[in-house]
Chains A and B, each alone.
Chain A
């Protein structure tokens, strides 16, 4: 079955600390992977995506993610978190030949001052 798992529902980090949000996927074809962020009252904003090539992708706001095919993972990282990063983060997967994105349940990030 095709699915995305984000094992951490909530994560709390201190401002300036590093961050890693986990994402594991199950997908029968070549996956295209995404991370989206949602701030309260806002739509989902694309942080970064992986289609092919370099498995370490850089995104906006200082985020990066690494695609590891052997682990079926696409974890999101940031070396130093800012208070404005507090939001909900969604991992998603799709593939060629489909318009459908499959989303994880999200990870809510809280940042302590």
Chain B
């Protein structure tokens, strides 16, 4: 089965530093997402991206966050100035369709630790 690939699997950074989390969605997919899961808490929606623009974002996705699809294959999440509370597992997901045939494929995640 095709896979969503995320790199790195673990990222450690100092508070205030910028991080970029990378994802390679499945090649014919059109809809892209970032979710995160703080340890012991729910998986939370951050942002969705379609047709080269943000289609929806949550209140978590503030000005410190941005997403980009720079080259037609990668999909990145940038956190400009990390905070301790950004420590979480970040999941990328993609889907080919919306509606009844919608199926999200998730990557295995990037564990971000902010020190």
Contact = CB atoms under 8 A, between A and B. Distances in A.
Interface string B42-53: 111100101000
What's the dominant secondary structure at chain A's contact region? loop
Contact of A44 (B48, B55, B106): B106
A12 to B, nearest CB: 19
B48 A99 contact: yes
B75 interface: no
Interface string B8-45: 00000000000000000000000101010000011111
Nearest to A101: B45
Interface residues of B, number: 27
Contacts of B45: 99-102
Interface of A: 4, 32, 36, 41-46, 49, 51-52, 90, 92, 96, 98-106
Instruction: Return the 4 tightest CB-CB contacts between A and B, nearest first.
Output: A99-B48, A43-B106, A103-B43, A44-B106
